[in-house]
Amino acid sequence: MEGISIVLPTLNRTTFLTDTLDCLVVQEFTYPFEILVVDQSDTYNHAMDEYQWKYPFIKYFHITFFKGLPEARNFGWTHAHYDYILYLDDDISCDNNLLEQH
């Protein structure tokens, strides 16, 4: 399916993650996109409940049975719905045209 799946691994960095999500949810992009947050933190991040409710294109996965960036990226990739995968860190800041540029 044409669009972009953003895979966003994170580990115990809620403040950075929410700042990054705030940048990503306002993307101006011609095609559909989704944000797959793969959280390997010890505890469930309840802030993600509000993001998922407000932005249905955000999918939150709280994973505790593995740890590691490659594993989180691979997990996200296997749950992606779109043809293109964009791996991002949980602490980026970007303009609203990041997806269009990619």
Q: Cα–Cα distances in Å, from 33 out to 27, 45, 95, 98?
A: 9, 22, 16, 12
Pairing of strands 84-87, 58-62: unpaired
pLDDT of res. 67: 87
pLDDT of res. 2: 93
Strand partners, 9: 38
pLDDT of res. 41: 95
Does the pLDDT of residue 87 top 90, yes or no? yes
Helix (H, G, I), strand (E, B) or coil at 86: strand
Does the pLDDT of residue 32 top 90, yes or no? yes
66: pLDDT confidence band, cut at 50, 70 and 90? confident
Does the pLDDT of residue 91 top 90, yes or no? yes
